[in-house]
């Protein structure tokens, strides 16, 4: 069993029009910039994929990564908690022009909905957002005298994930706060595609320190020295 894919282009080749795609990262930390850019490359060359529903904590920053994906008109709908950033001009303009849909979800509820999707839990109750605009239309139930909001799982066709060390079976570790949503999204997609900074043989990663066991991963592509969104944006980079 070997889950490695030789190139970024091949890794994202199966993502079709209208797919739901989870993209890891919190701002730039843990964002799989190279996988996103490979998807943009395909769109530039072929016009596809388009009409994507993207699930991420944010809405991109500057003109690289997720912001560039949105800027290329590939995203129909965004599910996120915080679509603001230092330079949110791409999303802001498209949103105010009615060219992209937004489903705003509190950050902890977003994380838990993704975890639920991966764990086979179709719905759960949370105190978060009770009595606010973000629970409108949702089922409310009382437990032990306190009201809670019913939230549904989130699943995706694909997850684009950034990990630090990965083996050919798909076992993964992350780096510092770049972990964030990545391990959750890996569990909640039919096809989880991971870019790893270091590809190693099975048995290299201590079983005690594996964060994402390989069962959650379908494709692994090595990207040594991955780019950081923050560094690109400070250099005012534009992709492509």
Partner 1 sequence: MTKLSNAQIAWRAAQDIEDGAYVNLGIGFPEMVAQYQPPGRQAIFHTENGILDFGPSPAVGAEDWDLINAGKKAVTLNPGAAFFHHADSFAMVRGGHLDVAILGAYQVAQNGDLANWSVGAKGVPAVGGAMDLVHGAKRVAVITEHVTKDGKPKLLAACTLPLTGVACVTRIYTSLAVIDIVDGHFVLREKLASLTFDDLQSQTGAPLHLDGPVQDLTVPELS
How far apart are the C-alpha atoms of 5 and 168, rounded to whole Å? 10
176 binds a second copy (CB under 8 A): yes
137 binds a second copy (CB under 8 A): no
- Interface residue with partner 1, options 47, 87, 131, 140 (CB under 8 A): 131
Contact partner, 152, from partner 1, a second copy, none, Cβ < 5-8 Å per class: a second copy
- Interface residue with a second copy, options 173, 182, 195, 212 (CB under 8 A): 173
95 binds a second copy (CB under 8 A): no
What's the closest the beta carbon of residue 71 comes to a second copy, in angstroms?
Answer: 34
62 binds partner 1 (CB under 8 A): no
Binding mask 183-222 for a second copy (x = CB under 8 A): ------------------------xxx-------------
Part of the chain binding a second copy (CB under 8 A), chosen from 93-101, 172-180, 197-205, 217-225: 172-180
Please list the alpha-helical segments (H only) found in the chain: 8-11, 33-46, 65-71, 89-96, 107-119, 182-188, 229-234
Residue closer to partner 1, measured from CB, 21 or 110: 110
143 binds a second copy (CB under 8 A): yes
- Interface residue with a second copy, options 124, 130, 191, 198 (CB under 8 A): 124
What's the closest the beta carbon of residue 19 comes to partner 1, in angstroms?
Answer: 18
47 binds partner 1 (CB under 8 A): no
- Residues of this chain that bind a second copy (CB under 8 A): 112, 116, 119-127, 141, 143-144, 146, 148, 152, 173-176, 207-209
């Amino acid at each position: 069993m070997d889950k490695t894919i030789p190139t970024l282009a091949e890794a994202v080749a199966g993502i079709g029009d209208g797919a739901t795609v989870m993209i890891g990262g919190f701002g730039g930390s843990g964002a799989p910039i190279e996988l996103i850019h490979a998807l943009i490359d395909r769109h530039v060359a072929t016009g596809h994929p388009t009409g994507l529903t993207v699930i991420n904590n944010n809405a991109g920053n500057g003109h690289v990564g997720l912001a560039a994906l949105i800027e290329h008109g590939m995203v129909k709908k965004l599910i996120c908690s915080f679509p603001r950033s230092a330079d949110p001009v791409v999303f802001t303009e498209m949103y105010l022009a009615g060219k992209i849909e937004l489903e705003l979800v509190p950050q902890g509820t977003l994380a838990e909905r993704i975890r639920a999707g991966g764990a086979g839990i179709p719905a759960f109750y949370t105190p978060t957002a009770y009595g606010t605009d973000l629970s409108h239309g949702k089922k409310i139930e009382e437990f032990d005298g306190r009201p809670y909001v019913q939230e549904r799982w989130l699943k995706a066709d694909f997850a684009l994930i950034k990990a630090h060390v990965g083996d050919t079976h798909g076992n993964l570790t992350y780096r510092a706060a770049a972990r964030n949503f990545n391990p959750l999204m890996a569990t909640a997609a039919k096809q989880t595609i991971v870019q790893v900074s270091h590809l190693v043989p099975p048995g290299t990663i201590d079983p005690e320190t594996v964060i994402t066991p390989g069962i959650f991963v379908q494709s692994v592509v090595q990207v040594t020295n991955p780019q950081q969104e923050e560094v690109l944006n400070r250099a005012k980079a534009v992709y492509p």
